[in-house]
Amino acid sequence: MVKSNTLDPFSLHKEDVDTFISNSDNYIIRKGGDMKGFFQESADPDKLIYEVYEIRGPHSTDMGLTIMKPGKVGKEFHMTKGHFHESKSADEYYFCLSGKGMIIMQSEDDEIRHMPLNEGGGVYVPSGWAHRTINVGDEDFILLAIFPKDAGHDYGAIEDKGFRSIVMEVDGQPQVIDNPSF
Amino acid sequence: MVKSNTLDPFSLHKEDVDTFISNSDNYIIRKGGDMKGFFQESADPDKLIYEVYEIRGPHSTDMGLTIMKPGKVGKEFHMTKGHFHESKSADEYYFCLSGKGMIIMQSEDDEIRHMPLNEGGGVYVPSGWAHRTINVGDEDFILLAIFPKDAGHDYGAIEDKGFRSIVMEVDGQPQVIDNPSF
């Protein structure tokens, strides 16, 4: 599918995840040890939290496929590190191909939004909003991201500041806690 | 949601179609009379084939939501006109929020591809491929398109040449017919 300087049409249904992976040209893995300071409690350094497979084509946009394992670190559900884009015009789309999740977005002015991200649906993230996805279900949360080629990923700014909300299990259910005191 | 020179985060699930429509800033309607020469038989000029609602934000990408009525003109299923992009780097994504459809893509070298486009899934269309979507189901086919702001829509080139394949009902089922002789 990925040829030098070209890219053929391809399908992006739930059944196509293995094909996407086999054609990806970049791979990121995040285990507990890669996410020190992101959760309230320390994660087992060898525990797989999520993987990202990217297809970087020759055209205007790139794609990332995130597969996030179900589970928690302490009472917090598995989540991505979260990032801003370096480009001030770079927006992003997330579509959930499988599983049950959420997205938390935080603007440069610290405004915060959270939305469900469920199988068959998506969310639009304008530029200027840091975003983090969270698996609140019992299965792999499989997420397709679409972003402009020049987006750039800035993990540092939001890592330093932190998101103002976290997603914890409370009475067996996922709950968004704003301004947690820790 | 759409403010001057800004765009808030928003959800893109099946349940959000009405919100998308109420926030759109451009509207296109195609009735049978707007699609003379696209189907083998003449369509009733007043018959609604599809509508497109667009949200053109201040960032890198724009969105279009197509709602295509179920039905046929003669034996051909309802479809869009189809277009190339003017920009040679502009790729596009389609996600089906509801219904059952297909996409036909034809390269500048007349290579042809067809793929299902079913609820919860998508298709990636690289630049250089004209594309047309088709409702092969019994319900509204609701489709979200994502494309770079500079994509531009070139309907003329593929209208002059025509797609090499059509989608017809054969024995009660949708069937792709290559190189139809008419």
> pLDDT by residue (tens digit) across B66-87?
999 999 999 999 999 999 998 8
Q: How far is CA A92 from CA A77, B33, B95, in A?
A: 23, 37, 15
Query: For chain A, what is the largest distance between any 2 Cα atoms, rounded to a whole number of angstroms?
Result: 52
Predicted structure pTM score? 0.93
**CA dist., res. B162 & res. B151, Å (int):** 21
Q: What pLDDT sits at residue A3?
A: 44
Q: Using an 8 Å Cβ cutoff, are A53 and A41 in contact?
A: no
**CA dist., res. A146 & res. A132, Å (int):** 14
Q: Which CATH superfamily includes the segment(s) A14-178? A: Jelly Rolls (2.60.120.10)
- List, for chain B, all residue ranges whose pLDDT scores fall below the cut of 50: 1-4
Which pair of structure tokens corresponds to residue A102? 């959420």
Q: What pLDDT sits at residue A4?
A: 42
By 3-state DSSP, what share of chain A in percent is helix, strand and coil, each rounded to 5? 10, 50, 40
Q: Using an 8 Å Cβ cutoff, are A122 and B94 in contact?
A: no
Q: What pLDDT sits at residue A5?
A: 56
* Chain B residues with CB-CB distance to A150 below 8 A: 60
Nearest chain A CA: its distance from B55 CA (Å)? 11
Nearest chain B CA: its distance from A155 CA (Å)? 19
Q: What pLDDT sits at residue A111?
A: 94
Q: What pLDDT sits at residue B5?
A: 56
Q: What pLDDT sits at residue A157?
A: 86
Residues 6 or more apart whose Cβ sits within 8 Å of residue A141: A66, A67, A68, A70, A78, A96, A98, A99, A100, A101, A133, A135
Phi-psi region of A114 (alpha: psi -120 to 50; beta: other; left: phi over 0): beta
Among B59, B60, B95, select the one facing A122 at the smallest CB separation: B95
**Annotated domain spans of chain B:** 14-178
The torsion angle over the Cα atoms of residues A173, A179, B2 and B5, rounded to 10 degrees, is -150
- Residue of A49, A56, A104, A50 lying closest to A82 (CA atoms): A104
| Other CB atoms within 10 Å distance of the CB of residue B76 | 21
* Chain B residues with CB-CB distance to A10 below 8 A: 123-124
Could you give the 3-state DSSP secondary structure of residue A165? strand
* Chain B residues with CB-CB distance to A146 below 8 A: 93, 146
**For residue A1, what pLDDT band results from cuts at 50, 70 and 90?**
very low
Which pair of structure tokens corresponds to residue A144? 């397709």
Nearest chain A CA: its distance from B46 CA (Å)? 33
Instruction: Identify the residue among B95, B113, B123, B144 best suited for mutation to test binding to A, counting A beta carbons within 10 A and taking the highest.
Output: B95
* Chain A residues with CB-CB distance to B1 below 8 A: none
Q: What pLDDT sits at residue B129?
A: 94
- pLDDT tens-digit series, residues B49-59: 999 999 998 88
Question: Does A10 contact B59 at a Cβ distance shorter than 8 Å?
Answer: no
Q: What pLDDT sits at residue B167?
A: 96
- Across the A:B interface, residue pairs with CB atoms under 8 Å apart total 131
Question: Does A7 contact B126 at a Cβ distance shorter than 8 Å?
Answer: yes
